[in-house]
């Protein structure tokens, strides 16, 4: 297995204009990551590793087509705006729309500078709820990051 305290995370940044996903076959309705046919892939449910994060930066810069009135230079996209933002949420990343070059540079610096080692987990309540106990909503139970303390090194 892996030793989480010796973890070096993988960071995938997707730069997009926020319009439709296209491929050689035409417009694609959903963004999906296929499972790899590697040995042991049948033991996992997701096509990505637990130490990988996907971040999406939607460029809403002037001169790049239709832009919405965002009111500020940067905003976080909602959960239902695109299938790419859903993939970002599942991996522990986030999707952000930027409307200016300054916001783009600040966002990129923030992504690299604020990365902390973490494991993406999915908590699900297993069992029946008991009387008098209220459970949090299912949305608050999904896709949490457990932060890992870095190992300083081995001592002899």
% of the chain at pLDDT higher than 70: 48
Q: What is the pLDDT of residue 122?
A: 67
**How many angstroms separate the CA atoms of 155 and 1, rounded?**
22
The domain spans of the chain are 4-147
Higher pLDDT, 104 or 140: 104
CB-based burial, 26-40: b 16+ in 10 Å, e otherwise: eeeeebeeeeeeeee
Q: What is the pLDDT of residue 109?
A: 87
DSSP-H helix ranges across the chain: 83-91, 101-113, 138-141
Residue 83 has pLDDT above 70, yes or no: yes
Q: Please write the tens of the pLDDT for every residue from 9-59.
A: 778 888 888 777 777 888 777 666 666 677 766 666 666 666 778 888 888
């Amino acid at each position: 297995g892996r030793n989480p305290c010796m973890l070096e995370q993988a960071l995938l940044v997707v730069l997009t204009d926020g319009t439709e996903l296209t491929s050689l076959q035409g417009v694609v309705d959903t963004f999906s990551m296929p499972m790899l046919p590697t040995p042991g892939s049948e033991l996992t449910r997701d096509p990505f590793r637990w130490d990988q994060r996907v971040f999406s930066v939607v460029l809403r810069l002037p001169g790049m087509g239709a832009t919405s009135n965002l009111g500020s230079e940067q905003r976080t996209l909602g959960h239902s705006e695109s299938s790419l933002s859903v993939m970002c949420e599942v991996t522990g990343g986030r999707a952000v729309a930027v409307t200016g070059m300054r916001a783009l540079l600040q966002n990129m610096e923030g992504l690299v500078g604020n990365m902390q080692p973490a494991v993406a987990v999915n908590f699900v309540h297993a069992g029946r709820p008991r009387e008098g106990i209220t459970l949090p909503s299912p949305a608050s139970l999904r896709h949490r990051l457990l932060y890992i303390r870095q190992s300083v090194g081995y001592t002899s």
